[in-house]
Chain A
Amino acid sequence: MSSRPVPIGAIKAAVFVLALGPLARLLLLGTTGEFGGLGANPVEFVTRSTGTWTLVFLCITLAITPARRLTGWNWLQRLRRMLGLFAFFYGALHFTTYFWLDQWFDLAAIGKDIVKRPFITMGFAAFVMMIPLAVTSTDAMVRRLGRRWGKLHRLVYAVAVAAILHYWWHKAGKNDFSQVGWYAAVVIGLLGWRLVDRWRKRVVTRVTA
Protein backbone atom coordinates (compact mmCIF):
# COMPACT_ATOMS: atom_id res chain seq x y z
CA MET A 1 0.00 0.00 0.00
CA SER A 2 1.04 3.56 -0.50
CA SER A 3 2.72 5.38 2.30
CA ARG A 4 0.64 8.49 1.67
CA PRO A 5 -1.13 9.58 4.85
CA VAL A 6 -4.89 9.01 4.90
CA PRO A 7 -6.73 12.38 4.56
CA ILE A 8 -8.46 11.83 7.88
CA GLY A 9 -9.78 15.38 8.10
CA ALA A 10 -11.66 15.05 4.83
CA ILE A 11 -12.95 11.58 5.74
CA LYS A 12 -14.18 12.86 9.08
CA ALA A 13 -15.97 15.78 7.43
CA ALA A 14 -17.61 13.45 4.91
CA VAL A 15 -18.76 11.01 7.61
CA PHE A 16 -20.12 13.92 9.64
CA VAL A 17 -22.20 15.18 6.72
CA LEU A 18 -23.40 11.68 5.85
CA ALA A 19 -24.36 11.00 9.45
CA LEU A 20 -26.60 14.06 9.43
CA GLY A 21 -28.44 12.61 6.42
CA PRO A 22 -31.19 10.81 8.40
CA LEU A 23 -31.98 14.02 10.30
CA ALA A 24 -31.95 16.06 7.09
CA ARG A 25 -34.34 13.55 5.52
CA LEU A 26 -36.80 13.88 8.41
CA LEU A 27 -36.65 17.68 8.26
CA LEU A 28 -37.12 17.64 4.50
CA LEU A 29 -40.05 15.22 4.58
CA GLY A 30 -41.64 17.11 7.45
CA THR A 31 -41.34 20.58 5.98
CA THR A 32 -42.01 19.92 2.31
CA GLY A 33 -44.45 17.01 2.52
CA GLU A 34 -42.79 15.61 -0.60
CA PHE A 35 -42.49 11.83 -1.17
CA GLY A 36 -45.51 11.26 1.04
CA GLY A 37 -44.14 13.47 3.83
CA LEU A 38 -44.00 11.84 7.23
CA GLY A 39 -47.13 9.80 6.45
CA ALA A 40 -50.41 9.56 8.31
CA ASN A 41 -48.73 9.18 11.69
CA PRO A 42 -45.73 11.54 11.75
CA VAL A 43 -44.88 10.93 15.41
CA GLU A 44 -44.65 7.18 14.80
CA PHE A 45 -42.56 7.81 11.68
CA VAL A 46 -40.07 10.03 13.54
CA THR A 47 -39.94 7.65 16.52
CA ARG A 48 -39.17 4.66 14.34
CA SER A 49 -36.70 6.47 12.12
CA THR A 50 -34.65 7.91 14.99
CA GLY A 51 -34.74 4.57 16.82
CA THR A 52 -33.52 2.69 13.77
CA TRP A 53 -30.67 5.14 13.18
CA THR A 54 -29.59 4.93 16.82
CA LEU A 55 -29.21 1.20 16.37
CA VAL A 56 -27.45 1.59 13.03
CA PHE A 57 -24.88 3.99 14.50
CA LEU A 58 -24.39 1.70 17.50
CA CYS A 59 -23.66 -1.18 15.14
CA ILE A 60 -21.27 0.92 13.02
CA THR A 61 -19.47 2.09 16.15
CA LEU A 62 -19.11 -1.47 17.39
CA ALA A 63 -17.87 -2.54 13.96
CA ILE A 64 -14.91 -0.15 13.98
CA THR A 65 -12.56 -2.29 16.05
CA PRO A 66 -13.21 -5.55 14.19
CA ALA A 67 -12.97 -3.71 10.85
CA ARG A 68 -9.70 -2.05 11.84
CA ARG A 69 -8.20 -5.36 12.89
CA LEU A 70 -9.36 -7.20 9.79
CA THR A 71 -8.21 -4.53 7.34
CA GLY A 72 -5.28 -3.07 9.19
CA TRP A 73 -6.67 0.43 8.55
CA ASN A 74 -5.85 1.96 11.88
CA TRP A 75 -7.27 5.37 10.91
CA LEU A 76 -10.77 3.87 11.26
CA GLN A 77 -10.24 4.20 14.99
CA ARG A 78 -10.30 7.98 14.62
CA LEU A 79 -13.91 7.91 13.39
CA ARG A 80 -15.18 5.91 16.34
CA ARG A 81 -15.87 8.75 18.76
CA MET A 82 -17.88 10.72 16.23
CA LEU A 83 -19.93 7.67 15.23
CA GLY A 84 -20.61 6.85 18.86
CA LEU A 85 -21.72 10.41 19.50
CA PHE A 86 -24.07 10.19 16.53
CA ALA A 87 -25.59 7.06 18.08
CA PHE A 88 -26.16 9.13 21.21
CA PHE A 89 -27.50 12.04 19.14
CA TYR A 90 -30.14 9.90 17.40
CA GLY A 91 -30.87 8.15 20.69
CA ALA A 92 -31.51 11.52 22.29
CA LEU A 93 -33.83 12.50 19.41
CA HIS A 94 -35.62 9.16 19.79
CA PHE A 95 -36.05 9.72 23.53
CA THR A 96 -37.13 13.34 23.02
CA THR A 97 -39.74 12.27 20.46
CA TYR A 98 -41.19 9.88 23.00
CA PHE A 99 -40.93 12.33 25.90
CA TRP A 100 -42.31 15.30 24.01
CA LEU A 101 -44.37 14.41 20.95
CA ASP A 102 -45.68 11.07 22.14
CA GLN A 103 -46.22 11.74 25.86
CA TRP A 104 -46.24 15.56 25.96
CA PHE A 105 -44.12 15.65 29.15
CA ASP A 106 -46.68 13.63 31.08
CA LEU A 107 -44.20 12.55 33.76
CA ALA A 108 -46.67 10.30 35.54
CA ALA A 109 -47.47 8.37 32.37
CA ILE A 110 -43.78 8.18 31.41
CA GLY A 111 -42.80 6.91 34.87
CA LYS A 112 -45.50 4.27 34.70
CA ASP A 113 -44.35 3.22 31.25
CA ILE A 114 -40.74 2.85 32.37
CA VAL A 115 -41.65 0.78 35.41
CA LYS A 116 -44.40 -1.34 33.90
CA ARG A 117 -43.27 -2.07 30.37
CA PRO A 118 -40.09 -4.08 29.86
CA PHE A 119 -39.57 -2.78 26.34
CA ILE A 120 -39.64 0.82 27.50
CA THR A 121 -37.52 -0.05 30.57
CA MET A 122 -34.87 -1.44 28.22
CA GLY A 123 -34.98 1.52 25.87
CA PHE A 124 -34.70 3.92 28.77
CA ALA A 125 -31.81 1.93 30.27
CA ALA A 126 -29.98 1.96 26.95
CA PHE A 127 -30.37 5.72 26.69
CA VAL A 128 -29.30 6.38 30.29
CA MET A 129 -26.21 4.17 29.86
CA MET A 130 -25.21 6.16 26.79
CA ILE A 131 -25.11 9.42 28.76
CA PRO A 132 -21.85 8.75 30.71
CA LEU A 133 -20.24 7.52 27.51
CA ALA A 134 -21.10 10.76 25.71
CA VAL A 135 -20.03 12.89 28.67
CA THR A 136 -16.62 11.18 28.94
CA SER A 137 -15.92 11.28 25.22
CA THR A 138 -13.74 14.40 25.30
CA ASP A 139 -9.94 14.24 25.13
CA ALA A 140 -9.70 15.79 28.57
CA MET A 141 -11.94 13.11 30.03
CA VAL A 142 -10.03 10.34 28.32
CA ARG A 143 -6.81 11.66 29.89
CA ARG A 144 -8.38 12.18 33.25
CA LEU A 145 -9.92 8.73 33.50
CA GLY A 146 -6.89 6.94 32.15
CA ARG A 147 -7.34 3.16 32.35
CA ARG A 148 -10.75 3.52 33.89
CA TRP A 149 -11.96 5.13 30.65
CA GLY A 150 -11.69 1.85 28.77
CA LYS A 151 -13.50 -0.01 31.53
CA LEU A 152 -16.31 2.53 31.58
CA HIS A 153 -16.72 2.43 27.83
CA ARG A 154 -17.33 -1.30 27.90
CA LEU A 155 -20.83 -0.15 28.85
CA VAL A 156 -21.45 0.18 25.13
CA TYR A 157 -21.89 -3.60 24.98
CA ALA A 158 -24.68 -3.36 27.53
CA VAL A 159 -26.19 -0.47 25.56
CA ALA A 160 -26.26 -2.59 22.41
CA VAL A 161 -27.87 -5.55 24.18
CA ALA A 162 -30.46 -3.30 25.84
CA ALA A 163 -31.24 -1.61 22.53
CA ILE A 164 -31.81 -4.96 20.82
CA LEU A 165 -34.04 -6.17 23.67
CA HIS A 166 -35.98 -2.89 23.49
CA TYR A 167 -36.62 -3.38 19.79
CA TRP A 168 -37.23 -7.14 20.12
CA TRP A 169 -39.82 -6.83 22.87
CA HIS A 170 -41.50 -4.00 20.99
CA LYS A 171 -42.06 -6.41 18.13
CA ALA A 172 -42.75 -9.48 20.27
CA GLY A 173 -46.54 -9.32 20.39
CA LYS A 174 -46.78 -8.95 16.64
CA ASN A 175 -44.47 -11.88 15.94
CA ASP A 176 -42.72 -9.67 13.42
CA PHE A 177 -39.03 -10.31 13.90
CA SER A 178 -37.90 -9.86 10.31
CA GLN A 179 -36.03 -6.60 10.84
CA VAL A 180 -35.07 -6.80 14.48
CA GLY A 181 -33.72 -10.28 13.74
CA TRP A 182 -31.13 -8.83 11.36
CA TYR A 183 -30.03 -6.21 13.85
CA ALA A 184 -29.79 -8.83 16.58
CA ALA A 185 -27.65 -11.01 14.31
CA VAL A 186 -25.30 -8.08 13.61
CA VAL A 187 -24.95 -7.21 17.30
CA ILE A 188 -24.41 -10.86 18.24
CA GLY A 189 -21.78 -11.08 15.50
CA LEU A 190 -19.96 -7.95 16.69
CA LEU A 191 -19.98 -8.97 20.35
CA GLY A 192 -19.19 -12.58 19.46
CA TRP A 193 -16.13 -11.48 17.49
CA ARG A 194 -14.81 -9.79 20.63
CA LEU A 195 -15.32 -12.92 22.73
CA VAL A 196 -13.54 -15.10 20.19
CA ASP A 197 -10.77 -12.52 19.87
CA ARG A 198 -10.26 -12.46 23.61
CA TRP A 199 -10.24 -16.22 23.85
CA ARG A 200 -7.66 -16.49 21.06
CA LYS A 201 -5.41 -13.92 22.69
CA ARG A 202 -5.56 -15.86 25.92
CA VAL A 203 -4.69 -19.09 24.17
CA VAL A 204 -1.82 -17.41 22.34
CA THR A 205 -0.38 -15.93 25.53
CA ARG A 206 -0.66 -19.28 27.27
CA VAL A 207 1.09 -21.08 24.44
CA THR A 208 3.90 -18.56 24.23
CA ALA A 209 4.31 -18.35 27.98
Chain B
Amino acid sequence: MLIRIPPRHLPEPSEITPRAVWSQRRRIVQAAAAGIALPAPGWLSAQTTRPDTRPESKLAGKVSPLSTLGANDKPTPYKDVTTYNNYYEFGLNKEEPAVAARALKTRPWTVTVEGEVDKPRVFDLDELLKLAPMEERVYRMRCVEGWSMVVPWVGYSMSELIRRVQPNGNAKYVEFVTLNDSKQMPGLRSSVLNWPYVEGLRIDEANHPLTLLSFGLYGELLPNQNGAPVRMVVPWKYGFKSGKSIVKIRFVEKQPMTAWNRAAPQEYGFYSNVNPEVDHPRWSQATERRIGEDGFLARKRATLMFNGYADQVAGLYAGMDLKRSF
Protein backbone atom coordinates (compact mmCIF):
# COMPACT_ATOMS: atom_id res chain seq x y z
CA MET B 1 0.00 0.00 0.00
CA LEU B 2 1.17 3.50 -0.75
CA ILE B 3 1.55 5.46 2.44
CA ARG B 4 1.21 9.10 1.67
CA ILE B 5 2.53 11.61 4.17
CA PRO B 6 0.85 14.93 3.54
CA PRO B 7 3.31 17.82 3.22
CA ARG B 8 3.35 20.21 6.14
CA HIS B 9 2.12 23.25 4.22
CA LEU B 10 -1.36 21.89 3.56
CA PRO B 11 -4.09 24.10 5.01
CA GLU B 12 -6.31 23.19 7.87
CA PRO B 13 -9.95 22.60 6.89
CA SER B 14 -10.71 25.75 8.85
CA GLU B 15 -8.68 27.80 6.37
CA ILE B 16 -10.84 26.83 3.44
CA THR B 17 -13.34 29.47 2.56
CA PRO B 18 -16.81 28.68 3.80
CA ARG B 19 -19.46 28.47 1.12
CA ALA B 20 -21.49 31.26 2.66
CA VAL B 21 -18.65 33.74 2.29
CA TRP B 22 -17.98 32.71 -1.26
CA SER B 23 -21.55 32.96 -2.38
CA GLN B 24 -21.42 36.62 -1.33
CA ARG B 25 -18.30 37.19 -3.31
CA ARG B 26 -19.85 37.54 -6.72
CA ARG B 27 -22.24 40.21 -5.58
CA ILE B 28 -19.45 42.22 -4.08
CA VAL B 29 -17.34 41.95 -7.19
CA GLN B 30 -20.26 42.99 -9.35
CA ALA B 31 -20.97 45.89 -7.05
CA ALA B 32 -17.34 46.91 -7.22
CA ALA B 33 -17.35 46.66 -11.00
CA ALA B 34 -20.41 48.88 -11.10
CA GLY B 35 -18.49 51.46 -9.13
CA ILE B 36 -20.48 51.15 -5.95
CA ALA B 37 -18.40 52.07 -2.94
CA LEU B 38 -18.25 49.31 -0.39
CA PRO B 39 -16.51 49.15 2.94
CA ALA B 40 -13.12 47.57 2.38
CA PRO B 41 -13.95 43.89 2.25
CA GLY B 42 -11.02 42.75 4.31
CA TRP B 43 -12.18 39.15 4.39
CA LEU B 44 -12.33 39.05 0.64
CA SER B 45 -8.62 39.14 0.02
CA ALA B 46 -7.93 37.33 3.28
CA GLN B 47 -10.00 34.35 2.21
CA THR B 48 -8.09 33.66 -0.96
CA THR B 49 -4.68 33.98 0.63
CA ARG B 50 -3.37 31.45 3.03
CA PRO B 51 -2.28 33.02 6.31
CA ASP B 52 0.50 30.51 6.97
CA THR B 53 2.32 31.21 3.70
CA ARG B 54 5.95 32.20 3.96
CA PRO B 55 6.28 35.92 3.13
CA GLU B 56 8.58 35.32 0.15
CA SER B 57 6.04 33.15 -1.58
CA LYS B 58 3.10 35.51 -1.19
CA LEU B 59 1.66 36.99 -4.36
CA ALA B 60 -1.26 39.28 -3.82
CA GLY B 61 -3.53 40.46 -6.59
CA LYS B 62 -6.31 42.97 -6.81
CA VAL B 63 -9.66 41.26 -7.27
CA SER B 64 -10.52 41.51 -10.96
CA PRO B 65 -14.00 42.18 -12.30
CA LEU B 66 -13.30 39.36 -14.75
CA SER B 67 -13.80 36.88 -11.89
CA THR B 68 -17.41 36.08 -12.61
CA LEU B 69 -18.68 33.00 -10.88
CA GLY B 70 -22.07 31.36 -10.88
CA ALA B 71 -24.15 30.74 -7.79
CA ASN B 72 -22.89 27.14 -7.62
CA ASP B 73 -19.21 27.99 -8.02
CA LYS B 74 -17.00 28.10 -4.98
CA PRO B 75 -13.24 27.82 -4.93
CA THR B 76 -11.95 24.28 -4.85
CA PRO B 77 -10.01 23.52 -1.66
CA TYR B 78 -6.32 24.37 -1.92
CA LYS B 79 -5.42 20.79 -1.11
CA ASP B 80 -7.33 19.43 -4.12
CA VAL B 81 -6.00 22.13 -6.45
CA THR B 82 -2.44 21.24 -5.50
CA THR B 83 -2.60 17.44 -5.23
CA TYR B 84 -4.75 16.47 -8.22
CA ASN B 85 -2.73 17.58 -11.21
CA ASN B 86 -2.23 16.52 -14.79
CA TYR B 87 1.40 17.39 -15.47
CA TYR B 88 2.86 14.53 -17.45
CA GLU B 89 6.40 15.86 -17.26
CA PHE B 90 6.21 14.85 -13.61
CA GLY B 91 4.34 11.55 -13.98
CA LEU B 92 1.14 10.17 -15.43
CA ASN B 93 -0.81 9.83 -12.18
CA LYS B 94 -2.48 12.89 -10.79
CA GLU B 95 -0.88 12.48 -7.36
CA GLU B 96 2.66 12.28 -8.73
CA PRO B 97 3.37 15.90 -9.77
CA ALA B 98 2.88 17.23 -6.23
CA VAL B 99 5.76 15.03 -5.12
CA ALA B 100 7.95 14.80 -8.22
CA ALA B 101 7.87 18.54 -8.99
CA ARG B 102 9.15 19.57 -5.57
CA ALA B 103 12.73 19.81 -6.80
CA LEU B 104 11.94 21.91 -9.88
CA LYS B 105 14.14 25.01 -9.96
CA THR B 106 11.98 27.98 -10.84
CA ARG B 107 14.74 30.58 -10.40
CA PRO B 108 16.56 31.82 -12.33
CA TRP B 109 13.92 31.56 -15.06
CA THR B 110 13.61 33.28 -18.40
CA VAL B 111 10.89 33.35 -21.01
CA THR B 112 12.02 33.85 -24.60
CA VAL B 113 9.56 35.72 -26.78
CA GLU B 114 10.37 35.39 -30.49
CA GLY B 115 8.96 34.96 -33.99
CA GLU B 116 6.75 37.43 -35.82
CA VAL B 117 7.24 40.34 -33.41
CA ASP B 118 8.95 43.70 -33.78
CA LYS B 119 10.50 43.51 -30.34
CA PRO B 120 11.62 39.96 -29.58
CA ARG B 121 12.97 39.69 -26.06
CA VAL B 122 14.13 37.40 -23.34
CA PHE B 123 12.23 38.26 -20.18
CA ASP B 124 13.58 37.48 -16.78
CA LEU B 125 10.95 36.16 -14.39
CA ASP B 126 11.39 39.20 -12.14
CA GLU B 127 10.66 41.48 -15.09
CA LEU B 128 7.52 39.50 -15.89
CA LEU B 129 6.35 39.70 -12.28
CA LYS B 130 6.53 43.50 -12.52
CA LEU B 131 5.29 43.89 -16.08
CA ALA B 132 1.68 44.66 -15.12
CA PRO B 133 -0.34 44.86 -11.91
CA MET B 134 -1.24 41.48 -10.46
CA GLU B 135 -4.93 40.62 -10.41
CA GLU B 136 -6.84 37.86 -8.72
CA ARG B 137 -9.00 35.99 -11.23
CA VAL B 138 -11.24 33.25 -9.93
CA TYR B 139 -11.96 31.03 -12.93
CA ARG B 140 -13.67 27.74 -13.54
CA MET B 141 -11.25 25.14 -14.88
CA ARG B 142 -12.74 22.30 -16.90
CA CYS B 143 -10.54 19.33 -17.67
CA VAL B 144 -11.16 17.38 -20.88
CA GLU B 145 -11.40 14.27 -18.69
CA GLY B 146 -14.75 15.42 -17.28
CA TRP B 147 -13.86 17.04 -13.97
CA SER B 148 -13.60 20.68 -13.00
CA MET B 149 -12.33 23.03 -10.33
CA VAL B 150 -12.63 26.68 -9.37
CA VAL B 151 -9.23 28.28 -8.92
CA PRO B 152 -8.31 31.75 -7.63
CA TRP B 153 -5.41 32.50 -9.98
CA VAL B 154 -3.08 35.48 -9.69
CA GLY B 155 -1.67 37.08 -12.81
CA TYR B 156 -2.49 39.52 -15.59
CA SER B 157 -3.94 39.36 -19.08
CA MET B 158 -1.67 37.83 -21.69
CA SER B 159 -2.42 40.89 -23.82
CA GLU B 160 -0.21 42.96 -21.48
CA LEU B 161 2.80 40.99 -22.65
CA ILE B 162 1.69 40.79 -26.28
CA ARG B 163 1.38 44.53 -26.62
CA ARG B 164 4.92 45.05 -25.34
CA VAL B 165 6.56 42.81 -27.95
CA GLN B 166 4.53 44.25 -30.85
CA PRO B 167 3.46 41.37 -33.10
CA ASN B 168 3.69 42.11 -36.83
CA GLY B 169 1.09 41.37 -39.50
CA ASN B 170 2.26 37.76 -39.93
CA ALA B 171 1.57 36.85 -36.30
CA LYS B 172 -1.61 34.81 -36.66
CA TYR B 173 -1.00 32.32 -33.86
CA VAL B 174 0.91 32.12 -30.60
CA GLU B 175 2.77 29.03 -29.48
CA PHE B 176 3.61 28.31 -25.83
CA VAL B 177 6.45 25.96 -25.03
CA THR B 178 6.87 24.21 -21.67
CA LEU B 179 10.23 23.48 -20.05
CA ASN B 180 11.82 20.31 -21.44
CA ASP B 181 14.50 19.35 -18.93
CA SER B 182 14.87 15.62 -18.42
CA LYS B 183 17.16 16.17 -15.42
CA GLN B 184 14.34 17.81 -13.52
CA MET B 185 11.33 16.18 -15.12
CA PRO B 186 11.23 12.40 -14.70
CA GLY B 187 8.07 12.09 -16.79
CA LEU B 188 9.93 13.06 -19.96
CA ARG B 189 11.24 9.50 -20.10
CA SER B 190 7.80 8.30 -21.11
CA SER B 191 6.87 8.53 -24.76
CA VAL B 192 3.26 9.46 -24.12
CA LEU B 193 3.73 12.80 -25.86
CA ASN B 194 6.26 14.43 -28.11
CA TRP B 195 8.27 16.69 -25.85
CA PRO B 196 8.43 19.58 -25.28
CA TYR B 197 4.78 20.19 -24.48
CA VAL B 198 3.55 22.77 -26.96
CA GLU B 199 0.24 24.56 -26.83
CA GLY B 200 -1.14 27.31 -29.01
CA LEU B 201 -3.85 29.89 -29.48
CA ARG B 202 -5.05 32.06 -32.31
CA ILE B 203 -3.72 35.57 -31.78
CA ASP B 204 -7.18 36.98 -31.04
CA GLU B 205 -7.71 34.26 -28.43
CA ALA B 206 -4.36 35.06 -26.86
CA ASN B 207 -5.26 38.75 -26.81
CA HIS B 208 -8.64 38.18 -25.18
CA PRO B 209 -8.76 39.83 -21.74
CA LEU B 210 -9.76 36.52 -20.07
CA THR B 211 -6.55 34.84 -21.27
CA LEU B 212 -4.32 34.96 -18.26
CA LEU B 213 -0.58 34.75 -17.77
CA SER B 214 -0.58 33.34 -14.26
CA PHE B 215 2.11 33.38 -11.60
CA GLY B 216 0.15 32.33 -8.56
CA LEU B 217 -2.94 30.88 -6.96
CA TYR B 218 -4.59 31.31 -3.58
CA GLY B 219 -2.50 34.42 -2.96
CA GLU B 220 0.87 32.77 -3.31
CA LEU B 221 3.35 31.94 -6.05
CA LEU B 222 2.32 28.93 -8.13
CA PRO B 223 3.18 25.61 -6.53
CA ASN B 224 5.52 23.73 -8.89
CA GLN B 225 2.94 21.07 -9.73
CA ASN B 226 0.54 23.78 -10.91
CA GLY B 227 2.98 25.09 -13.51
CA ALA B 228 5.44 27.33 -11.69
CA PRO B 229 6.78 29.85 -12.21
CA VAL B 230 4.54 31.04 -15.06
CA ARG B 231 1.69 29.41 -16.97
CA MET B 232 -1.24 30.10 -19.24
CA VAL B 233 -4.85 30.02 -18.08
CA VAL B 234 -7.50 29.97 -20.82
CA PRO B 235 -10.70 29.40 -18.87
CA TRP B 236 -13.08 28.69 -21.77
CA LYS B 237 -10.92 25.87 -23.15
CA TYR B 238 -10.16 22.42 -21.75
CA GLY B 239 -7.40 22.55 -19.16
CA PHE B 240 -4.68 21.01 -21.32
CA LYS B 241 -4.70 24.13 -23.53
CA SER B 242 -3.22 26.08 -20.62
CA GLY B 243 0.49 25.30 -20.87
CA LYS B 244 2.58 25.17 -17.70
CA SER B 245 6.13 26.26 -16.77
CA ILE B 246 6.51 28.29 -19.94
CA VAL B 247 10.00 28.97 -21.31
CA LYS B 248 9.18 30.18 -24.81
CA ILE B 249 6.42 32.11 -26.52
CA ARG B 250 6.56 32.17 -30.31
CA PHE B 251 4.42 34.24 -32.62
CA VAL B 252 3.86 32.33 -35.84
CA GLU B 253 1.94 32.53 -39.09
CA LYS B 254 0.70 28.94 -39.31
CA GLN B 255 -1.45 27.06 -36.82
CA PRO B 256 0.99 25.38 -34.42
CA MET B 257 1.13 21.59 -34.07
CA THR B 258 0.22 21.19 -30.42
CA ALA B 259 1.21 18.25 -28.21
CA TRP B 260 -2.17 16.58 -27.76
CA ASN B 261 -3.35 17.38 -31.26
CA ARG B 262 -0.28 15.59 -32.57
CA ALA B 263 -0.73 12.60 -30.25
CA ALA B 264 -4.44 12.00 -30.95
CA PRO B 265 -5.86 14.39 -33.56
CA GLN B 266 -9.27 12.70 -33.57
CA GLU B 267 -9.63 13.28 -29.83
CA TYR B 268 -7.98 16.61 -29.16
CA GLY B 269 -8.54 19.42 -31.61
CA PHE B 270 -6.55 22.64 -31.86
CA TYR B 271 -9.39 24.77 -30.48
CA SER B 272 -10.58 22.46 -27.70
CA ASN B 273 -13.17 24.93 -26.51
CA VAL B 274 -15.32 23.56 -23.71
CA ASN B 275 -18.44 22.37 -25.51
CA PRO B 276 -21.08 20.12 -23.94
CA GLU B 277 -22.46 19.27 -27.39
CA VAL B 278 -19.27 17.86 -28.83
CA ASP B 279 -18.44 14.57 -27.13
CA HIS B 280 -14.97 13.27 -26.66
CA PRO B 281 -14.84 10.00 -28.62
CA ARG B 282 -14.57 8.04 -25.37
CA TRP B 283 -16.92 9.94 -23.11
CA SER B 284 -19.65 12.53 -23.07
CA GLN B 285 -18.72 16.14 -22.35
CA ALA B 286 -22.26 17.09 -21.33
CA THR B 287 -21.56 16.91 -17.60
CA GLU B 288 -18.66 17.37 -15.24
CA ARG B 289 -17.71 16.45 -11.70
CA ARG B 290 -16.67 19.44 -9.60
CA ILE B 291 -13.74 18.26 -7.52
CA GLY B 292 -14.45 18.44 -3.80
CA GLU B 293 -18.21 18.71 -4.33
CA ASP B 294 -19.76 16.25 -6.78
CA GLY B 295 -19.50 12.52 -6.35
CA PHE B 296 -20.66 10.56 -3.36
CA LEU B 297 -23.13 13.21 -2.29
CA ALA B 298 -24.26 14.88 -5.48
CA ARG B 299 -24.57 14.06 -9.12
CA LYS B 300 -22.40 15.64 -11.75
CA ARG B 301 -23.33 19.10 -13.00
CA ALA B 302 -24.08 20.28 -16.52
CA THR B 303 -21.12 21.57 -18.50
CA LEU B 304 -21.68 25.05 -19.88
CA MET B 305 -20.87 26.21 -23.40
CA PHE B 306 -17.39 27.77 -23.40
CA ASN B 307 -17.26 26.75 -19.73
CA GLY B 308 -19.74 29.49 -18.92
CA TYR B 309 -17.74 32.24 -20.65
CA ALA B 310 -19.85 32.30 -23.81
CA ASP B 311 -20.91 35.93 -23.32
CA GLN B 312 -17.30 37.01 -23.43
CA VAL B 313 -15.80 34.67 -26.03
CA ALA B 314 -18.49 33.29 -28.36
CA GLY B 315 -17.82 36.20 -30.73
CA LEU B 316 -14.32 34.87 -31.42
CA TYR B 317 -15.88 31.90 -33.20
CA ALA B 318 -18.71 33.54 -35.10
CA GLY B 319 -19.45 31.64 -38.30
CA MET B 320 -17.27 28.68 -37.37
CA ASP B 321 -18.54 25.10 -37.25
CA LEU B 322 -17.55 24.17 -33.72
CA LYS B 323 -18.27 20.48 -34.35
CA ARG B 324 -15.66 20.46 -37.07
CA SER B 325 -13.22 22.88 -35.47
CA PHE B 326 -13.41 21.18 -32.10
Contact = CB atoms under 8 A, between A and B. Distances in A.
Contacts of B292: 40
B282 A119 contact: yes
A196 B270 CA distance: 48
A144 interface: no
A116 B84 CA distance: 29
Contacts of B286: 109
A109 B284 contact: yes
Nearest to B283: A117
A176 B191 CA distance: 9
Interface stretch (A5-13, A80-88, A167-175, A201-209): A167-175
A158 interface: no
Contacts of A109: 284, 286-287
A66 interface: no
A101 interface: yes
Nearest to B144: A173
Given A25-B1, A41-B295, A101-B296, A173 B147 contact: no
Interface string B274-301: 0000011111101101011001100110
A169 B190 CA distance: 19
Contact of A176 (B84, B95, B147, B192): B192
Given A112-B284, A175-B263, A176-B192, A36 B295 contact: no
Interface in A69-106: 101-102, 104, 106
B92 interface: yes
B83 A173 contact: no
B269 to A, nearest CB: 13
A25 B83 CA distance: 21
Contacts of A39: 83-84, 94-95
B296 A175 contact: no
B4 A104 contact: no
B118 interface: no
The size class of the interface chain A forms with chain B is 20 to 34
Contact of B4 (A35, A40, A117): A35
A101 B298 CA distance: 8
Interface residues of B, number: 36
Contact of B295 (A43, A116, A119): A43
Contacts of B95: 36, 39
B289 A43 contact: yes
Contacts, number: 71
A163 B299 CA distance: 27
B36 interface: no
B295 A173 contact: no
Nearest to B299: A104
A40 B92 contact: no
A41 to B, nearest CB: 6
Contact of A173 (B2, B84, B282, B296): B282
Contacts of B284: 109, 112-113
Contacts of A116: 279
A195 to B, nearest CB: 31
B282 A35 contact: no
B264 interface: yes
A41 B147 contact: yes
A40 B1 contact: no
A32 interface: no
Contacts of B3: 35
B42 to A, nearest CB: 30
Given A39-B83, A101-B296, A104-B299, A175 B291 contact: no
Nearest to B95: A39
Contacts of B1: 25, 35
21 contacts: A25-B1, A36-B4, A39-B83, A39-B95, A40-B94, A40-B292, A41-B84, A41-B147, A41-B291, A43-B289, A43-B295, A101-B295, A109-B287, A113-B283, A116-B279, A119-B282, A169-B282, A170-B282, A172-B282, A173-B264, A174-B92
What are the 6 A-B residue pairs with the smallest beta carbon separation, nearest first? A40-B84, A104-B299, A40-B80, A36-B4, A43-B295, A173-B267
Interface of B: 1-4, 6, 79-80, 83-84, 92, 94-95, 147, 190-193, 263-264, 267-268, 279-284, 286-287, 289, 291-292, 295-296, 299-300
Given A35-B4, A101-B296, A173-B282, 15 more contacts: A35-B3, A39-B84, A40-B79, A40-B94, A40-B292, A43-B295, A101-B295, A102-B300, A109-B287, A117-B281, A117-B282, A117-B283, A173-B264, A173-B268, A175-B263
